Homo-oligomer: A and B are copies of this chain.
Amino acid sequence: MGRPLVILSGGLDSTVCMALAAAGGGGDSDASAPLAVTFDYGQRHRVELTAAAAVAAHYGAEHLVVPIDLTGWGGSALTDATIDVPDAIDGATHGDSDSGGIPVTYVPARNLIFLSLAMGIAEARDADDVFIGVNALDYSGYPDCRPEFVASFEATAALALKRGVEGRPVRVRTPLIDLTKAAIVALGVETGAPLHLTWSCYRGGDRPCGTCDSCVLRAKGFAEAGVADPALAR
């Protein structure tokens, strides 16, 4: 039996995924400790890398930080210093957009790239499941968070990997995909996830800005769950 691999950004969603994977959420009751994988992709909110390390340490998990610089070609407010991170509009769940409701914080192919790297690592390290905290309900309108993308990716990866040829494809686990942000907060509390260690803000300041898309979504989630955000008490 392999262990679960968790794509851990240090944010709320991936930390709840970590809690689920650590609890054997891969369907394997005696799962070994998760392997946490964090991508250092040149994101302006680099403080999330520190948060990811703290979350991994909380679980005593091996933590692999993979440098993959996505800033070399631009295309996103998160990786291009010349594009500002917008405020969320009127508390809506979609940020400013220049195309089809997809906000400027969209990073071209980010989840495709992250999942692909995770698949390579999973195969090399014999992990059976890759957890990713994508969410298609209270989300930012990114196409690579939709269940149809995830299902298609899983099938593609099975064709790419030796493990797929051998009839034991690596599964992609998206336990949060149908949950509201409030339900994710509640699940985090229920599973004892270290929410106080997480970071969600897209901006790079010392404290969450409170007004970007990610901050607004997070605040809405905690409010609707009736839980005080422990990260704001730091």
Contacts and interface: CB of A to CB of B under 8 A. Distances in A.
Interface of A: 64, 66-70, 72-76, 99-100, 102, 106-113, 115-117, 119-121, 123-125, 143-144, 146, 148-149, 152-153, 155-157, 159-162, 164-166
- Which residue among A102, A144, A157, A160 has the maximum number of chain B CB atoms within 10 Å of its CB? A160
B159 A146 contact: yes
How many copies of the shown chain assemble into the complex? 2
Contacts of A121: 73, 108
A160 to B, nearest CB: 4
Contacts of A143: 159-162, 164-165
25 contacts: A64-B72, A67-B67, A68-B68, A75-B123, A99-B162, A99-B166, A100-B162, A108-B119, A108-B162, A109-B120, A109-B123, A109-B160, A110-B120, A112-B116, A112-B119, A112-B160, A113-B113, A113-B116, A113-B117, A143-B160, A143-B164, A148-B159, A149-B156, A152-B152, A153-B160
Given A64-B73, A68-B68, A156-B153, A161 B124 contact: no
Closest 5 A/B residue pairs (Cβ): A75-B124, A109-B120, A108-B123, A149-B159, A144-B160
**Residues of A contacting B: mostly:** helix
Contact of A161 (B69, B76, B108, B148): B108
A129 to B, nearest CB: 15
A207 to B, nearest CB: 30
Contact of A116 (B74, B106, B109): B109
Contacts of A76: 124
Which of A100, A106, A115, A162 gathers most chain B CB within 10 Å? A162
A101 to B, nearest CB: 9
Given A76-B124, A100-B166, A109-B116, 12 more contacts: A66-B72, A73-B125, A75-B123, A106-B162, A108-B123, A108-B161, A108-B162, A111-B160, A143-B161, A144-B161, A152-B156, A153-B160
